Structure 1
Amino acid sequence: MSNKDKELSIRVIELVGGESNVNDVYHCATRLRFTLKDHTKANEQALKNIAGVITVVKSGGQFQVVIGNNVSKVYEGIMEHTNLQDGGSKTDTKENAEKTGIFGKTVDLISSVFSSLLSALAGAGLLKGLVVLSVALGWLDDTSGTYLILNAASSSVFTFLPIFLAVTAARKFKANMNVSLAIAGALVFPTISAAFNSGQTYDFLGIPIVLVMYTSTVFPILLAVWVQSHIEKWFNSIIHQSIRNILVPMLSLLIVVPLTILAFGPIGNSVSQGLASGFTSLMQFSPMLAGAVTGGFWQVIVIFGLHWAFLPITLNNLATIGYDLMRPMLTAAVLAQAGALLAVMLKTRNSQLKTLSGSATITAIFGITEPGIYGVTLRLKKPFIYACISAAIGGAIIGVGGGRAVAYSLPSLLAFPTYVTTGFASVVIGVSVSFVLAFLLTLLLGFKDLEATVEEPQIETSGQEKQAIEPSESRLNKEIIVSPLKGSVQLLEDLPDPAFSSGVMGQGLVIEPTDGILVSPINGVVTTVFPTGHALGLTTDSGMELLIHIGVNTVKLKGQFFEKKVKEGDRVSCGQLLVEFDAEQIRTAGYITATSVIVTNSANYLDVLKTTEQEVKQGDYLMSAVV
C-alpha cells in the first residue's frame, strides 16, 4: 500500500466524523460504504474535494464514498489505521436504524454480505461462460476429465453459495462464524440433497418436512444466521462462561438447523421463486417494456448505490430456472455509458476531461461505470441522458430477442461468453446499438464542454518574498502565503509523519509554534474545518488550496485543547484568527505540536518556493506558489 493510499484512508475517516462516528464500513467494487451514527458530522464537500475521491453518495441509509478501482487499497488502509473490524465493528444504534428504514437496511444487508464475494462470483461466472461456450462450439467434450475439473472450478462458488454467505452474514450479524459455517454445511449436506432428489417424504419429530434444494440459495442461510445471532446472544447471557463455549454452539445448531429446514428453507424458497417468476411475468407481459425499463434506468439505480438489491434476483433466477434475463440488459446500460464516454473523449477540448474520459471508457467496457458517471457523463448531464436513452433501446432489443445469461457475470464485454445461448444474436445487436447510439448522440448533439484553460491572476510580490527566489523567477505569477503561527521553521520531510513528510499531500513547511494562536495565511474561504479543530482547509480566490494540520496524530485528542473560531464557508482575511489551541497541554498529553502548512494542489504550480528564515512570526513571508 502506498503512502498516498494510507493518507487518503486517514483523511476519509477524519472527514466522515472520525472512527467513533462509524457503525460499519465495508467496500464494493468502487465504493466505501459507511453506516454512520450521525450523518451531520460527516464533511461531504471536503470529501469531494480530496484527490482520490470521485464523489459522495448518500443513499439507502449509507454514506458512500466513491473511490474507483483503488477502493480496496483505501479500505485496507482504514482497517490498518483504525480499530474498525473487517465487515464493521459496531452495531447500529436504534436511532440510526430508525433513520435508515426497512428499505435502507435491506440494501445495506445485501451489499454487505455480497460485496466481498463479488470478485469470486464474477471470476467463476466468466469461467463458467467460457466452459459453456467451449462445449457449444465443440471445443470441449462434457464427458471428459477436462470438463469435469473446469466445471467444478466454475460452479463451486454457486453450488456452495450458502457456505460463502455464512461467512459474510456472520460478520454482518456478529454471529459465531464457525457455527454459521456448520449451519450452512448442514443445508448442503449430501444426504439432505439426496433426500430432496429421492422424492420421499420425511418428518422431524412428527412435523412434516418440506424439502428444498439448498445449493445456490440465498435467503435461507441469511435468515438462519440472523436467528443464530440472536439465539447466541440470549444463551451467552444465561449460560456460565465455564461451559459457554461448548453449550452455546451446540444449542445454536440444535435449534437453528431444524428451524431452517422446517421453516426458513420453504419460506426462502418461496421468496426466491416469487422473485424469479415476477421478472419472468414482466417479460411475458412485454419483453420490450421490461428491457427498456431495465436498460434505461439501471445506471440511475447505480448512482444511488441501490444496484446490490438486484443481485439476489439474478442468483435466484440462475438457481431456480437456470438462466437470467436481466444480465444482458444491464450490459447494454454499461456499454452505453462507455460509448458516451468515448464520444466525450473525442469531442472535449479540456485536456483533463479528455484524459479522464479515455480511462473511464476502458473501465466501463470492463464493467465499472462509476468513475465515468461521476467524473464525466453525469457531470456533463447530456451524455448521461443520451446513454440512458440508448440503453433503453438496446435493452428493448435484448428483451424482444430473449437474450439470457447462463452464469453470473459483471455486465461488461467480458460477460459475452455467459450469453452464448438462446437469444445471443439479440444481445450482440442490443449491446452494439446501445454503444454506437450513445456515441453518436453525444458526438453529434454535443454537450456544454468544460473550459479548456483557466487564466491565473497576477499577484504582487513583497520585498521579503523576492529575496527568497532567484532574480529570473521574479517575473512569474505567484500566490503568497504568510506564516499563520509564531515559531521555528522546519522542513516538511523532517516531520515524523510519513503521510505528510513523503510529499504525497503536496509541498509545504512545518512550524513549531511558540503559542497557540493560528491565523489565516491568505485571503480566501474556509473550505474544511475538521470537527476536532486540529486541522482545516483554505482556498484562495484563484484556487490555491491549503491544508493546515496542527500536530501529529492530534485527531486522537477528539477536539480536546482546540477551539475553532471559524466554520466552513466563512470568508477570511490574512491574519484573521482561525483556531486557538493549548500547545503545552497537547505536548503534556504526549503529542507533537509541529504544524504542517501544505499546498495540497502543488501539482498545479511550477514550484512552491519557501522561506530560508529559521524563525517566523505571524504575517511573515512563508511560501509562494509559482504559476
Structure 2
Amino acid sequence: MAYEQLAKDILKDVGGKENITSVVHCTTRLRFKLKDESKANDDALKANDGVVTVVKAGGQYQVVIGTHVDKVYDTLLAEGGLSGGGQVDDNYEDKTNMSLTDRFIDLISGIFTPFLGALAAAGMIKGLTSAAVSLGWLSQSSGTYQILYAIGDGFFYFLPIIISLTAAKKFNLDKFIAVGIAASMVYPNIVAINNSKNVLMTLFKGSFIESDIHITFLKIPVIMMNYSSTVIPIILAVWFASHVQKLAKKLIPEMVQLFLVPFFTLLITVPITFIVIGPVASWASDALSALFQTLFNFSPILAALLMGGFWQVFVMFGVHWGFVAVFYAELASQGFDQIFLLSVSVCFAQIGVVLGIMFQTKNPKTRSLAIPAFISGIFGVTEPAIYGITLPRKKSFVLSCIAGAIGAICFALGNVKAYSMAGFGIFAFPMVIGKNGVDATLYWTFASIIVSFVAGLALQLIFGRDAVDPEGEVAKGKAEAVAQAASEAADINEHAVKVQQEKIDYNQATKLVSPLAGQVLALTDVKDEVFSSGAMGQGLAIEPSAGTLYAPADGHVALVFPTGHAIGLNTDDGAEVLIHIGMDTVNLEGKGFETLVTKGQAIKAGDPLVKFDLDAIKAAGYEVTTPVIITNSKNYHNVTAIASGQVDVGQDLLELN
C-alpha cells in the first residue's frame, strides 16, 4: 500500500497540518483533535481507497484505516512534520513484553531517527568538502572551505545539543531543560578550561584515568572533558535529569513549578554531569581502547576480528572517540598505529549491506533514506546507515558487523600501519602512505575495503532478505507460517491474507466459540457506525456479563493493544479475528484492563486473553458492548451467527464458510 500518498491525502482532507491540534492512533483509527472540524472534507476521506470511513465522537475526528493504522500513522507524522500526542501513541508498543535487546534498539533508534536526514546531509557536505581539499579544488584557508566545513562539521560538533532534544522525548524531560544541559557541556568557556595549562592538582596518577584538575565546584575537583561530538554523556545526563525533574514535580508546589522545577533540575544535573557522569562515560571509552591495545599485542587477528566486528557498536555508544587518543599516543611513541586503522573497512562493510537493502527493499521511504546513508558512508560517516537502515533491521546490523570483521583481517594479515590521521571512508588512504611513499600497505588497504564491501553486500543479499521489509518476514510454504508472520509484522492483514489464500480452503466451514459470557447482539445494534456498518468486517457483538475474554479458537495472538481494550487473533483455520472490548475504551488508557497474553503467543480455544472490570468501565461512562469481527470476511462466502440470546463461554458462536 502507498502509505505516503495516503498520508498526504489524509493531511489535506483534515484541513492541513495547521488544522491539527494533536493526533494519536488506536487499533484501527487515526484519532485527530482538529481546530475546526468544518475544514475537514468527510466525503473525500470516505471516498479514499485507504480509508474505511470517518467517525466524529468524543471530541475526536476519527479516520478509520484498519489494522495497518500504525504504518499510516508513522508515515503521516513524517509527511506532515508532526509529533504524536498523548499516551495512546507513546505506549503503542507494549514495552513490558520487549526483550532487553529490543528495548535498547528502541531507545537508540528513538533518539537518533528524528534527525537522520540532517545527519546524512551534514555527513555528505563534510565528506565532499574534504574531498575538494584532497583534490586541490579548495584551500583550507579559503572562506568557501570554512563555511562549507562549518555546515558539515557544525552538526557533529554540537551533536550533544541535538541529541538532548530527542533524548528528552524518550525520557520525558522538558526539552528546554535538556538543551540547557547540553549547551553547558559544549559552552566555549568550558571547552577552554579543558585546554588550560593552569593545573590545580592531578588525580589518579599513574593510571589510565590520570586527570589534571583545572577547576573545582564547591571545592570538589572537576575532571574536565571535551564533550563536543559525544553521545553517551548527554544521553546519561538527560536520563538522570528526567528523574530529578520527576522528583522535583512531586516536592514543589504546582503554583511555582514553572520556574522552580527547571531551576533545581539544571542546578543538580549539570554539576553532577561534569563531576560524575561525563568523566565516567569518557573513562569507559579509554578503558575500552586500552583493552584493545593489549589484545592487538597478544593477537593481531583476534584484535582485527573484535575491532572490525564491534566498531559500529562503539560508534553507536560514542565510545569510539577513546581510540583517537590511543592513535595519537602511538604516533607519538613509535611513529605509526595499527589499532585505529582496523576500523576503516567497517564503513565499506556498512554501505555494502545498505546497498543490498537498496536492491531488496520495496519501501520507497527505506530507499530514500538508504541513498544518502550510502553516500555519507563512502565518506566515512556511518551513523545515518547505522541508525536509519541497519540497526532497526537487527539481522542486517549483525551482518554488517561480520563483514567489518572479515575486512579488518586483511589489515592484520598485511601488517598495515597508519602514519597520519586522514579520515574515514575514501579519505583513509593517505593514512597508510608513509615517508617511503606507496608500498604494499596501500594495496592491503584496497583489498580490505573491497573485501569488506563485497562481504557486506553478499551477506545481506544471501542472509538478510527477510529483515529488509516487514513484507519479507512472511514465511513461505507451511500454513503455520501465517501466525509467525503475524507475530513479526505489524500489518497482519496484508501479509497473512496472501498466505492464507494459498493454503486455506475457505469452502470448509470453520467455527468460532464464544469468547465471552453474555447477550448476543447483531452488529447493527452496536452504537458505532464503523462496526455496525460492517466496514471492518462481518461478525456480531456480545454484551458481556463477566469480565474475562477467552480465545474463540486455536491460533496465535496477532496484535495486542497496550491499553488491553482490543486484541487481534489469527486462527489455525485462517480466520482473522478482531475483538474490541467496549466503545471508545481506548480513552481509559488501560485502566480496568489486564492483558494475559503477548503478541505472537500460541493459544487454544478457551484460553483467557484479557481481564476487564465491567463496573469500572461502565462507571467511567463507556459502553461495554464487544464486537467480534472477522476482518478477512471477504475470503468467506458467509459469516453466520449460530448463537442468539444468552451465550456462555465456549458455546458455538460463528460459522465461516
**Cross-structure match for 1:136:** 134
SS of 2:522 mapped into structure 1? strand
**Cross-structure match for 1:156:** 154
Measured in 1, the distance between the counterparts of 2:563 and 2:260 equals 46
**Cross-structure match for 2:431:** 422
**Cross-structure match for 1:396:** 409
Q: How does 1:438-587 map to 2 (within 5 A)?
A: 438=459, 451=476, 477=507, 479-480=509-510, 486-490=520-524, 495-496=528-529, 508-513=537-542, 516=545, 524-525=554-555, 527=557, 535-555=566-586, 558=590, 560=592, 569-572=602-605
- The 1:291–1:119 alpha-carbon spacing in structure 2 relative to 1, beyond 3 Å, is farther
Measured in 2, the distance between the counterparts of 1:107 and 1:372 equals 10
Letter in 1 for 2:87: T
Whether the 8 Å contact between 2:236 and 2:277 is mirrored in structure 1 is yes
Whether the 8 Å contact between 2:585 and 2:622 is mirrored in structure 1 is yes
- The 1:480–1:217 alpha-carbon spacing in structure 2 relative to 1, beyond 3 Å, is closer
Q: Is 2:15 the partner of 1:10?
A: no
**Cross-structure match for 1:147:** 145
How many residues are matched? Answer: 500
Measured in 2, the distance between the counterparts of 1:508 and 1:87 equals 23
Measured in 1, the distance between the counterparts of 2:262 and 2:593 equals 48
**Cross-structure match for 2:205:** none
- The 1:270–1:590 alpha-carbon spacing in structure 2 relative to 1, beyond 3 Å, is closer
SS of 1:428 mapped into structure 2? helix
Write the deviation string for residues 543-600 of structure 1: whole angstroms up to 9, x where unpaired.
Answer: 33322323333355658599999x9745339xx9999999899667533455444444
Write the deviation string for residues 225-283 of structure 1: whole angstroms up to 9, x where unpaired.
Answer: 56766776777787777777666766766676566656666555544444445445545
Q: Percent identity?
A: 29
Q: How does 1:75-154 map to 2 (within 5 A)?
A: 79-80=84-85, 82=87, 116=114, 120-154=118-152
- The 1:108–1:272 alpha-carbon spacing in structure 2 relative to 1, beyond 3 Å, is farther
Letter in 2 for 1:10: C
Letter in 2 for 1:291: A
Specify every segment of 5 or more residues in structure 1 that has no aligned partner in the other structure, as ranges. Answer: 14-49, 55-66, 346-353, 379-383, 409-415, 444-448, 457-474
Higher mean C-alpha deviation, range 121-130 or range 145-154: 121-130
Whether the 8 Å contact between 2:583 and 2:624 is mirrored in structure 1 is yes
SS of 1:511 mapped into structure 2? strand
Q: Is 2:295 the partner of 1:289?
A: no
- The 1:583–1:226 alpha-carbon spacing in structure 2 relative to 1, beyond 3 Å, is closer
**Cross-structure match for 2:489:** none
Whether the 8 Å contact between 2:557 and 2:568 is mirrored in structure 1 is yes
Write the deviation string for residues 26-65 of structure 1: whole angstroms up to 9, x where unpaired.
Answer: xxxxxxxxxxxxxxxxxxxxxxxx87999xxxxxxxxxxx
Letter in 2 for 1:548: I
Letter in 2 for 1:591: Y
Measured in 1, the distance between the counterparts of 2:446 and 2:83 equals 46
Letter in 1 for 2:124: L
Whether the 8 Å contact between 1:395 and 1:430 is mirrored in structure 2 is no
Write the deviation string for residues 501-536 of structure 1: whole angstroms up to 9, x where unpaired.
Answer: 896xxx512535466599999754464796987545
Tell me by how many angstroms 1:105 deviates.
10
Tell me by how many angstroms 1:422 deviates.
2.9
Tell me by how many angstroms 1:153 deviates.
1.3
Whether the 8 Å contact between 1:10 and 1:78 is mirrored in structure 2 is no
What is the root-mean-square deviation of aligned Cα atoms in Å? Answer: 6.5
Aligned match for 1:434, one of 433, 438, 455: 455
Measured in 2, the distance between the counterparts of 1:182 and 1:273 equals 27
- The 1:171–1:137 alpha-carbon spacing in structure 2 relative to 1, beyond 3 Å, is same
Measured in 2, the distance between the counterparts of 1:451 and 1:105 equals 29
Measured in 1, the distance between the counterparts of 2:252 and 2:614 equals 51
Tell me by how many angstroms 1:489 deviates.
3.5
Letter in 1 for 2:537: G
Tell me by how many angstroms 1:151 deviates.
1.0
- The 1:585–1:496 alpha-carbon spacing in structure 2 relative to 1, beyond 3 Å, is farther
Measured in 2, the distance between the counterparts of 1:170 and 1:562 equals 29
SS of 1:490 mapped into structure 2? helix
Letter in 1 for 2:148: L
SS of 1:199 mapped into structure 2? coil
Tell me by how many angstroms 1:121 deviates.
4.0
Write the deviation string for residues 115-153 of structure 1: whole angstroms up to 9, x where unpaired.
Answer: 655554444233322222222123333333332222111
Tell me by how many angstroms 1:623 deviates.
7.0
Specify every segment of 5 or more residues in structure 2 that has no aligned partner in the other structure, as ranges. Answer: 11-21, 30-66, 200-213, 329-338, 375-384, 433-444, 465-473, 482-504
- The 1:392–1:271 alpha-carbon spacing in structure 2 relative to 1, beyond 3 Å, is closer
Measured in 2, the distance between the counterparts of 1:426 and 1:81 equals 52
- The 1:608–1:333 alpha-carbon spacing in structure 2 relative to 1, beyond 3 Å, is farther
Write the deviation string for residues 276-331 of structure 1: whole angstroms up to 9, x where unpaired.
Answer: 45445545655543332344578xxx9xxxx4884312355569869965654444
- The 1:52–1:11 alpha-carbon spacing in structure 2 relative to 1, beyond 3 Å, is closer
**Cross-structure match for 1:36:** none
Letter in 1 for 2:584: N
Write the deviation string for residues 39-93 of structure 1: whole angstroms up to 9, x where unpaired.
Answer: xxxxxxxxxxx87999xxxxxxxxxxxx9x979879x9994352676999x9x9x
TM-score normalised according to structure 1 size: 0.56
Q: How does 1:49-68 map to 2 (within 5 A)?
A: none
SS of 1:486 mapped into structure 2? strand
Measured in 2, the distance between the counterparts of 1:435 and 1:561 equals 46
